[in-house]
Amino acid sequence: MRKFILCLITLLTLIAPAAYGGGGGVDEYVSEKEILSEAIKGIASIVEKEKIPSSWGQIKPESSSEKMGKNGLYQWTVIFKNMEIEDPEKQTLYVTLNTAGQILRVNYSGK
């Protein structure tokens, strides 16, 4: 009887975390279409704050890709190209978002 009770307690201890969700991390995962929409909104916000030239406001995303980030979580990178910018190093803008669609960073380096 004692062994049965110990086995039951052990089994319940192992099952309980799974029953309550356990773990953590990002639970929400949005579509690529939503990722692109959030990236465009992010660019518009930065243009509105006058941190980048207004010509970026009309640029559509050139490409997007999802890959594993340095922190071990997947991230989206959306690339915008603006040939109206004279400085070649500032013609490409990278918007990095998490899988929930939150912008993590926007820069010219893609890093």
pLDDT at 15 over 80: no
Cβ pair 99, 74 in contact under 8 A = yes
CA–CA separation, 34 and 103 (whole Å): 12
Provide the percentage of residues in the chain whose pLDDT is more than 70.
76
Tell how far CA 3 is from the center of its chain: 49
Provide the percentage of residues in the chain whose pLDDT is more than 90.
63
**Average pLDDT value over all residues in the chain:** 83
CA–CA separation, 107 and 111 (whole Å): 8
- Indicate the residue type of 30: V
**How large is the average pLDDT for residues 33-48?**
94
- In this prediction, residue 9 carries a pLDDT of 64
pLDDT at 12 over 60: no
What digits encode the pLDDT tens for the residues 60-108?
Answer: 999 999 998 888 889 999 999 999 999 999 999 999 999 999 999 999 8
- In this prediction, residue 28 carries a pLDDT of 76
pLDDT at 6 over 60: no
